[in-house]
Amino acid sequence: MKEREITALELGLGYHFRRRAVIEQAVTHSSQAREQEAQSAGESKYKVRDNEQLEFLGDAVLALVTSEELFQRFPQFREGELSKLRAHLVSERHLIQVAQQLELGHYLRLGRGEEKSGGRGKTALLVDALEAILAAIYLDGGLEVAREFVLRNVIAPELERMEQGGGTLPITDFKSALQEAVQSLGLPQPAYVLVEEAGPEHNKTFTVEARLHGKDKDGSFIGRANGSTKKTAEQDAARQVLTFLASRPKSGEGKAAARVPHTSDK
């Protein structure tokens, strides 16, 4: 890479590399590396390093930083909710947007065949380069610098977008979400009723019903759930009522027969 290209890339990344070789490797595709090796075959054979190994390391760094940030930022989330959010943040669908915003395609070192086939715009190549660059930052500057890069470019903007987009972050407090939902629909607040308590004192199971009463009898709905605590059962019962409300026709309060879902509805 030319000096001005490295400088421009560093400005876009917000990081200055002490070792230029590592950033050059991060943007070198295997097609370029093999092409260079072939050209030098008649002289002295040598191995040209591409970004595949760096991509492997960058993927691990990205997963670690993202997991740690979500763990710290959302202590109320369950494992499944954290996993779902992390999967989105490290997905190819999201990372390609980050790579495009950083204009990484301009800096890829490609073989002639890959260049002709439009490699600079290929999703897989761009995402791989992004992960390789993250690894390069980690190797050159350490974990804290790599963490700052991930937070600044991958995590923070997307979480902000999701929050502004109307609560697409995972719902963890279903009771509060249900309270807001029924208020917006002009319905009475649901009632939570403990209908059964079973098991020994140290291992009880609580069965709770969340009873939603519509403006007519046909609009009523009961969500029923079991839990090791009353609070857990109430949250799951509220979740079932939210699912019911979301499934109703939007044109009105369509008449829906009341039912008691089984715990398998979870």
| N-to-C CA span, the chain | 55
What does 29-68 look like in DSSP terms, one character per residue? -HHHHHHHHHHTTTS---PPP-SHHHHHHHHHHHHHHHHH
Contacts of 259 (CB under 8 A, 6+ apart): 221, 222
Q: Catalytic pick from 24, 55, 128, 131?
A: 131
- Asked if residue 179 and residue 156 are part of one domain, the reply reads no
At 77, list the tokens.
Answer: 């989330």
pTM, two decimal places:
0.62
- Asked if residue 134 and residue 72 are part of one domain, the reply reads yes
Residue span of the structural domain in which 214 resides: 174-265
Q: What is the pLDDT of residue 169?
A: 61
Q: Residue 75 CA to chain centroid, in angstroms?
A: 16
Tell me if residue 131 is catalytic: yes
Any domain includes 190? yes
Tell me if residue 128 is catalytic: no
Amino acid at 200: P
CATH code where residue 250 lies = 3.30.160.20
Helix (H) or strand (E) holding 181: helix 174-185
The string of pLDDT tens digits covering residues 129-186 is: 999 999 999 999 999 999 999 999 999 999 888 877 655 565 557 888 888 888 888 8
Per-chain mean pLDDT for the chain: 84
Q: Catalytic pick from 59, 148, 158, 253?
A: 59
What radius of gyration, in Å, describes the C-alpha atoms of the chain?
27
Any domain includes 257? yes
- Asked if residue 132 and residue 150 are part of one domain, the reply reads yes
Q: What is the pLDDT of residue 172?
A: 59
